[in-house]
Chain A
């Protein structure tokens, strides 16, 4: 909403400057977005008078002018055809920045003659888009007067109107709040009735569903033409285009009183009636914007004998619009339902000044006064004779009084405000106060409870006066405030960062094609209105984004990315379908190194995953190969599970076909860990740990080299060994895998170091031999492992 200071002063008796108005608005809740102050913008420019103009000695089209300026008499070279002696115009001194041409003036010779400044056109001052000469101003203006004043320009204040305050969409509403805030005195906004001279001949009908109340009157014998300068200037200042006096009056009413109206050329109305009703299937309307709209049965249309002639509360129609030749005008002043009008705006894709106001709710009790005021303005500007007013329908019921215990102000806001002051604030804002019963004014349909009244009092009293009161201590849980899951997410992040991964935060939505590659892409998870076509589906995995990020980093010359993300994935649209994952990805392109070649980097990733699981407090997990999802390399991937149904993580090398589909160069290694699948530890009453039982007996180790078929997994060799004697065998670890000379083809040697922890007594050689035999037998039974001789 835009307005000027002089417009505000039509309603507010104040001496406040633009900056004081802005400050008061800000603190009363009218959030100023922009102040365009031509006075400041054009501060360097001032009125000047040409006293002599002569042909430039070296250029046909230039004149050398002697000019009386604020800086004394100056010789200025000017190329404008209208530069002549006696002309009052605008002068820019050397050093001034000319906004329209983007240059700063310097004392430079123009074809041999130095110009000591510049005479300006409207375009150069950016007060018009084009001009064919320098400005021609009224000769009564004094030399040196500020340009903004001479051009009648003043500060325009633009502010954000929150949806609860449609009354701020009229300047009088702004004035009322500023008066309450102490910036001045509200001028009486009441409206005098204009008696009708004859009965209205046009009947008005409403369908209450479409339009609760519709008032109108005929004004005969008007002369429509351009509106007077003051009105044009007022509209231009806030960015409205003057059209004709009749139309300009409706725009003025919209901005001055938040009271949109419509004027019809009565000579073009047919059927002797005008009605507001719901649209009919198949009806169309050519609106004032030149476009034709299909009318639907949930829209309110204005119609006469010819059918639809306007979109109620949104836009008038082409067929009945007023023109220079209009002599009889029918003025409509109605109250359109906010929700229906909001819907109409969305359906039709129209946001007009009227639609914007009706959608937010104009004052339903200002229908008749609004019509009277518009009549007065039309009579003043266009002459004519008004009919009596006709009304159909009824305004919505007035707002109910709110029971308001004044002590609630302090209880809710903490502000101490005297009862008399509370009443004064509410009264200034238009509320009717009767003891503890407060009735909101008809233009404040947002107010329906006592908290709303506290807000009114508090904002006018000023939030600066709010006390700063420490929160009372409250009983709180001992220990931290985070849940196990929250702590895990936090620790996962720092564990991964400690292991050399950089944390990315990536979109929750990805392109559907990618979602499908990772087991998602369900229709229920596809956004109806994505911000971009490649961000249209809720992700089933965090991996696609990490792959894309690594590929992007590679394209920028950083192929060795190690990234992770802790974030949500979505398996469906219900709350329980969302899970938290830790995904990590390595593009294994480390710098070349001078020392030993690294082992398979997949095992470094596995180490990171194991360390993370340990940090998360996960129980021991089974590593299952050959069952991981389709986006993994079938031979170089595995899943970690608690049992067949509880998969905690998958890891491995990503499938080359997937990387290709995502336009990424492989190889890439990754894991994705479902945090929500890790069981939470049982709550214990104390933090005490079980006593540490240290054996006094030395552990001993024995090495076994087994021959197994080449496709046997090492894990399948180790598992039966560990199970061979659970009380004595503390650990078994593969330390060598060998294929080649000395090992038969199709087989491999797996060497395992077994750690034995004697329990009660040192083991005899015979006991150790017996244990070894059990180990060998167990490995043989499980995978046919034979001890290598």
Chain B
């Protein structure tokens, strides 16, 4: 008769001592395998008398179950230990740098352009575009700059050479030619669809884009960006102009307190014409908008000149409205404290990194402009 107590103690000792899964498996096979010590015992149950079986059965089965449980328990413990050891061996130095990555930026002028588009889109303005190389008609004549008039000298124009017909193209000095392209009724020139074509009023558009004047210093650049606005309807007056620009400026500078004023001015293509100033503080190193007692001119505007409407085939006794134009780079410089316009076009990676914007800073109504 096998001493079950001793057998259990021997096997348990082997289980506890098994250093790894393989040793434990060997113990399991020796005890519970086909001809393992416990399996052999179980086989003896069949040849026992019922009484003996009644006594030995539970004892042997109990032994089997306990040893089985102990092996499973030891197995779990050994696996946990092995995992720990493996994980410990997989240690890496996470103070090492990740693969180098560059930080991309959106140019501040383009960010500001997107901000302006967002503000005017909410007011129902669509976006119109036109070519950078323009003809004299769209840039000047149709906008009521008579040929040879001194008003043209206000624009330092870049000229292209005369063509075979004696006409010379120019680099647009403002975005206003797109007003003409939009207003001109019955225009049938075959042009790519991105270029504004004549549309019937009511009209409500903005026109951002590159503009050019032969001028260069800290505040003037031979290329710059303008945004133009045009609203034409039956009863649009200067009060609407005032509200639109006041609202635009408050939303753009993201300060409700920015004080503005309108001053009479002269532009050939508007009548009456005005310039808009904002309150500013020039006492420090840079100009602060919305504070102080000084005024800073920020844009030109006015009611579209009846001659411009007539030049485009519209009856100024029926249609009227306003137009405005301002510098995108300039307003961006004021808003974000950018000192010199020339840096804007220099593509210095440090400058772009400092003044640029995250790809995800797209203006939207939920997060604001930037």
Q: Could you tell me which A residues sit within 8 Å of B by CB distance?
A: 26-29, 31, 162-165, 338-339, 342-343, 359-360, 410-415, 449-452, 454-455, 458-459, 463-464, 466-474, 476-477, 480-483, 485-486, 490, 493-509, 523-531, 535, 538, 545-546, 549, 552-553, 556, 558, 560-563, 566-568, 570, 573-578, 580, 590-591, 593-595, 598, 676
Contacts of B358 in A (CB 8 A): 497
Q: Which residues of A contact B103 (CB under 8 A)?
A: 500, 502
A480 touches B121 (CB 8 A): yes
Are A573 and B133 within 8 A (Cβ)?
Answer: yes
A482 to B114, CA, bound (A): 11
User: Is A29 in contact with B264, judged by CB distance below 8 angstroms?
Assistant: yes
CB–CB A163/B114 < 8 A: no
Closest 8 CB pairs of A and B: A29-B264, A414-B239, A455-B272, A549-B347, A504-B347, A162-B266, A469-B239, A459-B264
B124: interface (CB < 8 Å): yes
> Nearest Cβ distance between residue A426 and chain B, in whole angstroms?
14
Indicate if the CB atoms of A504 and B261 lie closer than 8 Å: no
Given contacts A342-B148, A413-B239, 5 further A-B contacts (CB under 8 A): A26-B263, A413-B272, A414-B239, A483-B127, A497-B357
- Given A458-B272, A527-B158, residue A505 in contact with residue B265 (CB < 8 A): no
| Shortest distance between the CB of A685 and any CB in chain B (Å) | 20
Q: In the complex, how many angstroms separate the beta carbon of B283 from the nearest chain A beta carbon?
A: 17
Which of B104, B202, B233, B246 contacts A501 (CB under 8 A)? B104
- A to B contact number (C-beta, < 8 Å): 286
In contact, A452 and B231 (Cβ under 8 angstroms): no
**Are A31 and B265 in touch, CB under 8 angstroms?**
yes
Residues in A whose Cβ lies below 8 Å from that of B360:
494, 498
How far apart are the CA atoms of A466 and B263 in the complex, in Å? Answer: 11
Determine the distance from Cα of A502 to Cα of B240 in the docked complex, in whole angstroms: 39
**Complex contact A546–B101 (CB within 8 A):** no
Task: Determine if A535 and B222 form an interchain contact, defined as CB atoms under 8 angstroms apart.
Answer: yes
- Is A474 a contact of B359 with CB atoms below 8 Å? no
Specify which chain A residues have a CB less than 8 angstroms from the CB of B192 in the assembled complex.
575-576, 676
CA distance A480 to B365 in the complex (A): 13
Across the interface, do A466 and B239 meet the contact criterion of CB distance under 8 Å?
yes
Residue B176 at the chain A interface, CB threshold 8 Å: no
Question: Shortest distance in angstroms between A511's beta carbon and chain B's nearest beta carbon?
Answer: 14
In the complex, whether B306 has a CB less than 8 A from a CB of chain A is yes
Contact check, A463 vs B261: say whether CB atoms are below 8 A apart.
yes
**A466 in contact with B262 (CB, 8 Å):** yes
Instruction: Report B171 CB to chain A, min CB distance, Å.
Output: 8
- Contact between A502 and B242, CB atoms less than 8 A apart: no
B191 contacts which of A26, A501, A575 (Cβ < 8 Å)? Answer: A575
Q: Which residue of B lies closest to A572 (CB)?
A: B133
Chain B positions within 8 Å of A552 at CB level: 346-348
Judging by beta carbons under 8 Å apart, are A452 and B271 in contact? Answer: yes
Partner of A573, one of B107, B148, B151, B169: B169
Which residue of A464, A469, A493, A676 is within 8 Å of B194 (Cβ)? A676
Which of A359, A556, A595 meets B150, CB within 8 Å?
A359
* Stretch touching chain A among B21-29, B62-70, B73-81, B208-216: B208-216
B127 to chain A: which residues have CB within 8 Å?
481-483, 486
Q: Are B160 and A570 in contact (CB under 8 A)?
A: no
Contact yes or no, A553 B348, CB < 8 A: yes
Q: Of A343, A473, A485, A562, which one neighbours B102 at CB under 8 angstroms? A: A562
CB distance from B203 to the nearest CB of A (A): 10
In the bound complex, CA of A473 to CA of B123 (Å): 8
- B94 contacts the other chain (Cβ, under 8 Å)? no
- Which of B171, B215, B246, B264 is in CB contact (< 8 Å) with A463? B264
Contact partners of B110 in chain A: CB under 8 A: 493, 503, 505, 566
By a CB distance below 8 angstroms, the chain B residues around A593 are 97, 99-100
Q: How far is the CA of A486 from the CA of B195 in the complex (A)?
A: 11
Cβ–Cβ contact A471 & B124, under 8 A = yes
The listed residue (B100, B124, B243) touching A476 by CB distance below 8 A is: B124
Contact of B274 among A463, A468, A549 (CB under 8 A): A463
For B236, list chain A residues within 8 Å (CB).
471
Query: A26-B263, A464-B261 given as contacts; is B129 within 8 A of A339 (CB)?
Result: no
Partner of A549, one of B153, B163, B346: B346
Instruction: Select B214's contact among A28, A473, A531, beta carbons within 8 Å.
Output: A531
Bound: A562/B356 CA distance, A: 14
Whether, in the assembled complex, B44 has its beta carbon less than 8 Å from a beta carbon of chain A, the answer is no
Decide if B336 is an interface residue (CB 8 Å cutoff). Answer: no
**Which residue of chain A has its CB nearest to the CB of B206?**
A481
Q: Report how far A556 CA is from B168 CA in the complex, Å.
A: 41
A267→B260 CA distance, assembly (Å): 61
Question: What are the interface flags for B85-100 relative to A under an 8 Å C-beta threshold, 1 for contact and 0 otherwise?
Answer: 0000000000011011
CA distance A146 to B121 in the complex (A): 58
Measured between alpha carbons, how far is A590 from B97 in the docked complex, in Å? 13
Q: A506 with B345: in contact, given A413-B272, A471-B240, A498-B104 (CB under 8 Å)?
A: yes
Given A163-B151, A463-B262, A506-B347; A528-B100 close (CB under 8 Å): no
- B133 pairs with A578, CB closer than 8 A: yes
Can you give 25 A-B contacts (C-beta < 8 A)? A26-B263, A29-B263, A31-B263, A31-B275, A164-B268, A411-B235, A413-B303, A451-B303, A463-B262, A469-B242, A471-B124, A483-B193, A486-B127, A494-B360, A497-B358, A502-B104, A502-B353, A505-B345, A507-B223, A508-B212, A524-B161, A538-B133, A545-B347, A561-B349, A573-B160
Contact B347 A474 (CB under 8 A): no
What residues of B have a CB within 8 angstroms of the CB of A529 in the complex? 158-159, 214
Instruction: Give the residues in chain A near B148, CB-CB below 8 Å.
Output: 339, 342-343
Cα–Cα distance between A545 and B223 once the two chains are bound (Å): 14
CA distance A594 to B306 in the complex (A): 70
- Residues of A contacting B153 in the complex (Cβ-Cβ under 8 angstroms): 163
What's the Cα separation between A758 and B120 when bound, in Å? Answer: 52
Contact call B238/A412, Cβ cutoff below 8 A: yes
Q: Which residue of A lies closest to B244 (CB)?
A: A471
Q: Is the CB of B160 within 8 A of A528?
A: yes
- Chain B residues with CB under 8 Å of A530's CB are 158, 214
CA distance A73 to B202 in the complex (A): 77
**B305 contacts A by Cβ under 8 Å:** yes
Which of chain B's residues have a CB closer than 8 A to the CB of A502? 102-105, 107, 347, 349, 352-353, 356
Bound: A121/B206 CA distance, A: 59
Residue B251 lies at the interface, judged by CB distance under 8 Å to chain A: no
Q: Is the CB of A531 within 8 A of B238?
A: no
A553 to B346: give the CA distance in the assembly, Å: 10
Q: Decide: B124 and A474 in contact? CB cutoff 8 A.
A: yes
- Contacts known (A451-B271, A476-B124, A578-B132); A524 close to B240, Cβ less than 8 A: no
**Cβ of A318 to closest chain B Cβ, rounded Å:** 28
- Distance of B201 from chain A, by nearest CB (Å): 11
Q: Is the CB of B133 within 8 A of A458?
A: no
Which one of B214, B271, B349 contacts A558 once the chains associate, using CB atoms below 8 Å? B349
CB distance from A343 to the nearest CB of B (A): 6
CB contacts under 8 Å to A, within B338-364, are 344-350, 352-353, 356-360, 362
Q: Are A467 and B160 in contact (CB under 8 A)?
A: no
The docked-state distance in angstroms from the alpha carbon of A359 to that of B150 is 7
A505 touches B240 (CB 8 A): no
- Chain B residue at minimum C-beta to C-beta distance from A452: B271
Chain B residue at minimum C-beta to C-beta distance from A339: B148
Q: Distance (Å) between the CB of A157 and the closest chain B CB? A: 16
- By a CB distance below 8 angstroms, the chain A residues around B149 are 163, 339, 342
Residue B175 at the A interface, CB < 8 A? no
In contact, A503 and B133 (Cβ under 8 angstroms)? no
Q: Does B174 contact A (CB under 8 A)?
A: no
Complex Cα–Cα for A542 and B105 (A): 18
Asked if B53 lies at the interface with its beta carbon under 8 angstroms from chain A, I say no
Q: Let me know if B204 is at the binding interface, CB within 8 A.
A: yes
* Smallest CB separation, A568 vs chain B (Å): 6
Closest B residue to A549 by CB, please name it.
B347
**Chain B residues, CB < 8 A from A360:** 150
Query: Is B299 in contact with chain A by the CB < 8 A criterion?
Result: no
The answer to whether A503 and B263 touch across the interface, beta carbons within 8 angstroms, is: no
Is B194 a contact partner of A165 (Cβ separation < 8 A)? Answer: no
Contact A468 to B243, CB < 8 A, known contacts A507-B223, A535-B222, A578-B131:
yes
